[in-house]
Structure 1
Amino acid sequence: MTQGKLSVANKSNEGSSLPPPPPSYEEATAGGSPSYSGNYPDEGEMFTEFCWDDLNVRRTFIRKVYAILALQLSVTLAIVSLFTFCDPIKDYIQSNPGWYWAAYAVFFVTYLTLSCCAGPRRQFPWNLILLAIFTLSLSYMTGMLSSYYNTKSVMICLGITVLVCLAVSVFSFQTKIDVTSCQGVLFVTFTSFLICGLVLAFILPFGHVPWMHTVFAGLGAILFSMFLAFDTQLLMGKKRYTISPEEYIFATLNIYLDIVYIFSFFLQLFGNQRE
């Protein structure tokens, strides 16, 4: 009787359609992940939808980014302090504005190169050389901007920037809110902010409007604080969009730029210019 039951069970299994086995990880990821930017299909994804990621690789990536970022901020702080406290250097850079525009040209070229060209951004040591040139040029521009404000204002704005960046970073690491899914909102806000900035640049020379300049600086500080949260969550992963561990230069570039812009807007918002 037992053999009869077994034969009946075997026949029923042969006639039923069993589900296929699940695909392996290689088969599941053979088609690649949807790209956030879509600019580098042949060289791997810069931004990918959340998928499996090695935790040790991600932690090493984060440590590398923040180590380079700490070095960048140290250089910027040293140049800002030099331009603020040393009167001969302060007088020289203010009497020679051509160096500012030269630094701006270098900043713009290196930024476009590191942002748009995957080859120089990933090729050692050119990526670090370009990042160093970018850091020095932006530090010079920030130092020259700081030289027009009194020392107390610069120190206060530095302290406010540190507190804001720490608060935003802790929020980005601890919150369950996925800021990376709000890239459309950030894009629209940044576009509106850019248009307002261009209009303001044409209005101010014909009549000083203090409240408009203050509102613009406040909105800029808020906007780039949001960008800092966005870039931090791209760095840490486990959200809808993450940045590839190969793009440590690009991640460092974005976070550093966010912090410098936040400081610049706080300086315009709270700083007192020298008489």
Structure 2
Amino acid sequence: MAQEPKPQHQVPKVHSDSDSDSGDIESGCGGDLLYPKMTEDPALRWAFIRKVYAILSIQFLFTAAVAAVGSFLKVIPEFLLSKSPAAWAVYLLLILLPFIVMWPMLVYRQKHPVNIILLALFTICISLSVGVSCAVVGGKVVLQAAILTAVVVVGLTLYTFFAVRRGHDFTFLFPFLYCCLLVLLVYCLMQILFPLGKLAHTIYGCLGTLVFSGFIIYDTNQLIRRHTYNEYVIAAISLYMDVINLFMSTLTFSSSCN
């Protein structure tokens, strides 16, 4: 009678130092990973992040150019401060245009190249609104607000990348930030209907700076951990609007203090 073969015992695989340094994608270990327990190729996530920040760089450069034109051409602030019917029409148009462009942009956010075209139109609309605001307050206040905004954005971005790499997740901030955003909108509406003076502008600027600083942390966390690779338009819009709103809040605070 034939003897049954004995089961062979598997020898456990020993990882060398070179294997541990390169990183195991399935286990979430390795120096190239963005966050713990990462199951995707880090090169793909880094490529996605670079793509989003490249889009943001173009948006910010264009917005800065429009803001500079609005600040240094004296004809623009003179026209806007004249309070003529044409000036009010320009204000109303600049308020409505971003909302008009935003809807189709969100609908076609994953349809290339329509999403890029609509993103460019949205950036133009927002840049014109920022340029008008900069033209009204003056160059010195704009420069002060721009420097403060740049410092906050760079600092919070570096902090978020460092914290996420250490395992922190900032998704829990969304309910709190959403409630704060509603309060800001109601406060802004009250300020339009019942102006309360410089003190109200200062309070709004301080609150807006804190809220949109939190949104920068939250949306950077989403960029690193949550967004899929075809959501680069949504990721760029989110961070772009966070920085723009932070700049506008800082501008409001700076102008009310001068």
TM-score range relative to shorter protein: 0.7 to 0.9
Q: How does 1:1-275 map to 2 (within 5 A)?
A: 52-95=39-82, 96-115=87-106, 117=107, 120-175=108-163, 176=166, 177-204=168-195, 208-237=196-225, 242-271=226-255
- Check the 8 A contact 1:149/1:272 in 2, yes or no: no
**Alignment partners' CA distance in 2, 1:88 and 1:190:** 35
**Alignment partners' CA distance in 2, 1:182 and 1:193:** 16
CA shift for structure 1 position 94: 4.5
**Alignment partners' CA distance in 2, 1:86 and 1:202:** 31
Q: How many residues align?
A: 220
SS of corresponding position for 1:84: helix
**Residue type of the alignment partner of 1:254:** S
- Check the 8 A contact 2:202/2:257 in 1, yes or no: no
Point out the structure with max Rg over C-alpha: 1
- Check the 8 A contact 2:71/2:139 in 1, yes or no: yes
Superposition RMSD in Å? 2.3
CA shift for structure 1 position 73: 0.3
- Check the 8 A contact 2:201/2:256 in 1, yes or no: no
**Residue type of the alignment partner of 1:253:** I
Unaligned runs of 5+ in 2: 8-36
- Check the 8 A contact 2:63/2:123 in 1, yes or no: yes
**Alignment partners' CA distance in 1, 2:80 and 2:113:** 31
**Alignment partners' CA distance in 2, 1:124 and 1:159:** 35
**Residue type of the alignment partner of 1:189:** C
CA shift for structure 1 position 105: 1.8
- Closer, same or farther in 2 for the Cα pair 1:87/1:197, shift >3 Å? closer
**Alignment partners' CA distance in 1, 2:102 and 2:217:** 20
SS of corresponding position for 2:136: coil
Q: TM-score, normalised by structure 2?
A: 0.78
- Closer, same or farther in 2 for the Cα pair 1:105/1:264, shift >3 Å? same
After superposition, the C-alpha distances for 1:159-214 in whole angstroms (9 at most, x for unaligned) are 1110011111111111143211322222222223323333333321xxx3432221
Alignment-derived partner of residue 14 in structure 1: none
**Alignment partners' CA distance in 2, 1:145 and 1:59:** 35
**Residue type of the alignment partner of 1:106:** L
Alignment-derived partner of residue 27 in structure 1: none
**Residue type of the alignment partner of 2:193:** F
- Check the 8 A contact 2:198/2:256 in 1, yes or no: no
- Check the 8 A contact 2:76/2:135 in 1, yes or no: no
**Alignment partners' CA distance in 2, 1:255 and 1:261:** 10
> RCO higher in 1 or 2 (8 Å CA, sep ≥ 6)?
1
CA shift for structure 1 position 93: 4.6
After superposition, the C-alpha distances for 1:138-165 in whole angstroms (9 at most, x for unaligned) are 0100110111112111111111110011
Alignment-derived partner of residue 19 in structure 1: none
Alignment-derived partner of residue 33 in structure 1: none
Q: Which moved more, 1:189-198 or 1:77-86?
A: 189-198
- Check the 8 A contact 1:153/1:272 in 2, yes or no: no
Alignment-derived partner of residue 25 in structure 1: none
**Residue type of the alignment partner of 2:124:** L
Identity in percent: 26
